[in-house]
Amino acid sequence: MKTIKGPAIFLAQFADDKAPFNNLKNICQWMSKAGYKGVQIPSWDARMIDLQKAAESKTYADEIKGIVNETGMEISELSTHLQGQLVATHPAYNELFDAFAPASLAGDLKGKSEWATQQLKFAAKASANLGLNAHATFSGALMWHTVYPWPQRPAGLVNTGFTELAKRWTPILDTFDQYGVDVCYELHPGEDLHDGITFEMFLEKVNNHKRANILYDPSHFVLQCLDYLQFIDFYHDRIKMFHVKDAEFNPTGKQGVYGGFQGWVDRAGRFRSLGDGQVDFSGIFSKLAQYNYDGWAVLEWECAIKHPEQGALEGAPFIQDHIIRVTEKAFDDFASAGADEAFNKKILGI
């Protein structure tokens, strides 16, 4: 067994134009004082990193790494959640995702996908330059508008959708393989990869590509009423990243999974700061330790109620308290009688 690394924190929800969250050095200093040992960097935020430059210049990548290391922390992973979303986007969402790409590509569905694909390839090399072995992203979605269909889905639509999704991602996965980095899809509503079954269908289409892996985030499974502990039993070999995020699901006689178009505070399902929701983190950390997960435990703070700074300050000790220092000893070793092959055969009567 291996001990999980952490606590780390995803910087996307904290980056701001105001100090101390306005650049990588300042935000890392704040997070280090809060007790974090690692940071996951959003690659689309120029206040944190220039992704293309990190891919093309090892010197620049070393500078970024040095900024983080000087605060006593490490880079856990890079993230391309926004770019990954654009690899595959249904036309119904075209304008809604314009903000994820350069303004010059507004309304250009094909152009945004090509740009996003190149961004992912930059992320592969940048990750290698930074000495990282895993990367966080979204799959994008061609089929999400059919997730609860009326009228029914035409025969073969899902197969065609996953075939196209695999066609777009296979060259990206191959690039990551070239640089020895795992692509970890955050299984998330709004993405074609949002649960175990959809991940399996995608995995089949990419020929079980060894770089196609999972960013495990139990909060999204709570809101889908999915057994997030058994999920680890099924997919532990593919879980290469872990977002520590809490959630709660409190259905009523008026609303359930779909939330009645309510804002986050009023939904039956909502994200919460660590310890304020319903996720069994003791069970999760135990299972991940059991299955030799040796990556980072990364706080992704999202909460409909609590201030982010309070959530961050509470998050580091929460994660630290849940990380299990795995044992190399059996608890009943004190009662061992010692043995050799001859003794074992005697005990068995053979």
Tally the domains of the chain: 1
The per-residue pLDDT for 262 is 97
pLDDT at 212: 99
Q: Which domain holds residue 112?
A: 5-348
Q: What is the pLDDT of residue 339?
A: 76
Q: Per residue in 294-327, pLDDT tens?
A: 999 999 999 999 999 999 999 999 999 999 999 8
**Low-confidence residues of the chain, pLDDT below 70?**
334-335
Give alpha helix (H) positions in 70-156: 81-87, 109-129
Question: Per residue in 242-293, pLDDT tens?
Answer: 999 999 999 999 999 999 999 999 999 999 999 999 999 999 999 999 999 9
CA dihedral for 44, 45, 46, 48, sign (positive or negative): negative
Kindly report the CATH number assigned to the domain that includes residue 26: 3.20.20.150
Is the pTM here over 0.85, yes or no? yes
**What per-residue confidence (pLDDT) applies to 347?**
82
pLDDT at 338: 76
